[in-house]
Amino acid sequence: MNTIIIFIIFCFCLCIQTHHASSSSSYSISSSESKNIFPKEAHPTKSGYLPVSNNSSSAIFYAFYEAQNSTLPLSKTPLLIWLEGGPGTSSLIGNFYEVGPWRITESITLEPNPGSWNNYFGLLFLDNPIGTGFSIASSRQEIPTDQQGIARHLFAAITSFLQLDPVYKHRPIYINGQSYGGKFGSTTGYYIMKRNAQLRAPQRVNLAGVVIGDGSIELKTQLGTIPANAYYLGLINEKQKNELEKDLLEVVRFTETLQWGKATDAAGRLRAVLQNMTGLATLDDYTRKDHPYHYEDWVTKFLNIAEVDQYDLLAGPVQIEACVKLFKWEGIEDYLNAERKIWKVNGELAGYVQQWKSLTNVVVLGGGHLMPADQPLNAKAMIEDWVLQRGLYQSV
C-alpha cells in the first residue's frame, strides 16, 4: 500500500454555521437568461447522486470536472476530491468560489477561473454529510453524528463514483478537506486505509494523499492559541487577552467532559467576543476592513437563479502548528526539526514550505480562511507541484 501523504495548508475559516446551497430565496429569471448565467461549457463533466447504503435512498450529490490539460492518460490522471467544512456547508462553495473551473462574480455570473485545480487533475466535489446542499437524507436519523459514520458514507460514495467509468478505477486519489472538512478528509483517509487492508487489490481505493486546508481539527488546542495570537498581532490589549483566556477555560472544560454541543456554543461566544473586541469584518481574514467573504450569498443566489492562511485568526499557521505537534507519528520530531524553506511562484515570494517524508506543511502568504479565493494562482501552483512532486514539494 502506498504511503499516505498528509498535506496541511494554512490558508483556508472555521464555519460553525450550517450553509445550504439549496436554501430558499425568491428570484425570477427567464430560461434564456439562465443559460447566459450558466453557460454550457461551465457544466460539470458528470453530476448526480451517489448512494451511501444499499438499504436507503439517502445519497451524496456530486459534481465532477475532468482534467482540462492532463499530461497523463486519464486512467493515471490524479483525482482530487473536495470536502467542504461547516459541518454542513455545500462543496459547491469550493467549486464556484475557490477552485472550480468557473468562478462566480459579484454580478452573479460565471467567469473562467485562472486558479482552477482541474488543469492537470480531475476534480470531484461532494456535498457531505447527507442533508447538506443538494445531498439527500431520507430521514434525520440517517444523518451521521460522528466521524466514523461520515467516513463510511464517503467511502460508499467514492467507491460508487469509481464504478461509473472503468477509467476512474485506479486513478490516484487525493482527498482535500477545508476547515472542518479537515476532519472529514483525515478520518475518511484513515477509514479507506483500514478498508483497503481488508479488500482484494482490484477492490481497493487508490488513496495517494490527504490535504487539510486551514483545518479545524482539534478545538481545544487551536482555540487555545487565539488570545496570544491576537495580542501579539496588536489586535487586542493585555486586559482583553486575559478576558479571552478566561472565556477559553469554559471551552476547555466542556471539551474535556465531552460536552460537544456546549463546547461548540462556548467557542462561538469566544469568537463573538474577539470580533467585538477587534471590530474586524471577519476573523477569517483580519486584513479585510470593509466586508467579509461573500461566498454564501453569491453562490446561493447563483444556484437559485441557475437552477492556512497567514491572515486567518482561527485556523491559521499558529493554530495548525499547535495541532501538528500533537501528531502521533514516528517522524514528527524530524519534521519539527526540518528546514522551513522559502517558496516562490514566478520569482515572487508566495510562502513557506516545511516537509519531512510524507508530511508537508505550507504557509501561503496573503490569504484568508478561503485561501484559494484570495490567492488563486499560488493555490493552483501549490496543489499542482505537491501532487506532481515538483520543486520544493519533492519528497525528502
Task: Kindly list the catalytic residues.
Answer: 179, 312, 369
Would you state the cell numbers that stand for residue 226, as one nine-digit string? 487565539
Distances (CA, A) of 42 to 55, 56, 104: 34, 32, 11
Which single residue is written with the C-alpha cell 483566556?
245
Distances (CA, A) of 383 to 92, 120, 169, 320: 19, 10, 22, 18
Phi, psi angle pair for 152, to nearest 5°:
-65, -45
Contact 103, 110 (CB under 8 A): yes
Q: Is 181 exposed, middle or buried (0-12, 13-18, 19+ CB in 10 A)?
A: buried
Contact 370, 321 (CB under 8 A): no
Residues 6+ apart with CB under 8 A from 42: 101, 102, 110
Strand partners, 115: none
Annotate 335-359 with b (16+ C-beta within 10 A) or e (fewer): beebeeeebebeeeebbbbbbbebb
Residues 6+ apart with CB under 8 A from 244: 226, 227, 230, 236, 270, 273, 274, 277
Contact 3, 331 (CB under 8 A): no
Would you state the cell numbers that stand for residue 368, as one nine-digit string? 484568508
